[in-house]
Amino acid sequence: MFRKVLIANRGEIARRILRTCRRLGIATVAVYSDADEKALHVREADEAVRIGEAPVAKSYLNIEAILRAAEETGAEAIHPGYGLLSENADFARAAMERGIRFIGPSPEAIAAMGSKVAARETVKRAGVPVVPGSEGAVASADEAARIAAEIGYPVMLKASYGGGGIGMQVVHSEEELRKAFASNSARAKAYFGNGEMFLEKRVQRPRHVEIQVLCDGHGQGVYLWERECSIQRRHQKVVEEAPSPFVDEALRRDMGEAALAICRAIGYENAGTLEFLVDEEKHFYFLEMNTRLQVEHPVTEMITGLDLVEWQLRIAAGEPLGFGQGDIRRDGHAIECRVYAEDPEKMLPSPGTIARMVLPEGEGIRNDVGVEAGSEITPFYDPMIGKLIAHGRDRAEAIARMKQALDAYVIEGIRSNLPLLRVIVASDRFAAGDTTTDFLESWGKR
């Protein structure tokens, strides 16, 4: 196992990684920008290195500054967390070339899934269903119109390197498609440096179900069941849970086997997540793969009893999993609510200083937070304050515990989405598990 690990991230996830390192007796190096000089993750790490100014481009995305910090402190490995450089194949390769282990998959595996067009073709070849659509990239509006006529409207126009809904649009007619093609491609090019586009048939009332996997470097892989992430707003997940109330044993097994087939096809190593759309008839279609730890990983940890960061570290250090699919537990039910510093109606960031903060406690309650009273939420970074996770013996108990915890949660000095979370968790539709993608459409439009 590693003796010292550098954490190339900030906020709650930097603290989450620190916690496991400490438990395993691994020394930690934090990195920080000028805006994070007094941040909790900096205070808690054994060492901390300043890597630049507040904007992420000048600090948390500065590959050279981070690699230098690792070399100067003698860190043997880098954990990238999520976001930032976590899915940057160049960063993973640069670390490797300088003799530093990247805690994640190979640069080739990251790149194979970085392009959604390439990922679709790889996944098809592995025998896993994708949503019917274009073969490869669509080069022009004319070609898009031809393919859309074949698959039938409505279609989804998507950007190969897109994310957060950028470059993505539902299209109902050829006229709309011709207009949408150039603008979405240009937007994707501006945001992600690549305007490559593709088409899919639109799936009606889909659910977003994702499979967590762990694959070691010795050919062993397991799936850690699914997470239901259909409650999103503007392509930002708000509430996640495990298991999914919509997934039965047969679907769970089929999706798990499909996830592992994809991992085998690309020689995947470390923790990863396969995202799928599931339609009303319980057909599933591969969407994309996240080649990193995800924000919502705690719900999987709560039902399996596994520490995903620990297994990321062990796999990166070359250890075998040492257990198989039959050893994976699935105990009870877990729900996560993302608490954001934002205006609950407009859902726009609400920066400022947290005057008072009281985290709920109790049986089955977990808080992963990056801030405390006195912390400033700056406009430089993601406005997530923290994640509240509730576990229960069944879904009803998890909901009851989450409701109580949300009522006890106090944040003063800035606005938060706590009122929205309370409404969701107390709703009849949530109780019924009726959590399709249109769940939050009405909220905020009142």
Positions touching ligand MV4 (CB under 6 A) are 131, 156, 165, 200, 202-203, 206, 208, 230, 232, 235, 277, 287, 437
Closest approach, Cβ 159 to ligand MV4, in A, equals 10
Residue 56 or 203 with smaller CB distance to ligand MV4:
203
Q: Which of 438, 435, 404 is nearest to 422 (CA)?
A: 404
* Closer residue to ligand MV4, CB minimum distance, 279 or 307: 279
- Rounded to a whole number of angstroms, the minimum distance from the CB of residue 232 to ligand MV4 is 4
Q: What is the dihedral of CA 296, 298, 300, 302, to 10 degrees?
A: -150
Q: Which one, 172 or 329, has the nearer CB to ligand MV4?
A: 172
Which positions are annotated as active-site residues?
Answer: 292
Give SS3 for 225: strand
> For strand 101-102 and strand 77-79, is the pairing parallel, antiparallel, or unpaired?
parallel
- Sorted by sequence, the CB contacts under 8 Å of residue 69 that are 6+ apart come out as 6, 29, 31, 49, 51, 75
Instruction: Decide whether 288 or 368 has the Cβ nearer to ligand MV4.
Output: 288
CB of 382 to ligand MV4, least distance (A): 16
Q: CB 90: neighbour CB atoms within 10 A?
A: 12
Residue 214 CB, shortest distance to ligand MV4, in Å, is 24
First vs last Cα of the chain: how many Å apart? 54
Nearer to ligand MV4, 73 or 437 (CB): 437
Q: Is 66 helix (H, G, I), strand (E, B) or coil?
A: helix
Is residue 1 packed enough to be buried (19+ CB in 10 Å), middle (13-18) or exposed (0-12)?
Answer: middle
Collapsing DSSP states into helix, strand and coil, what is residue 384?
A: strand
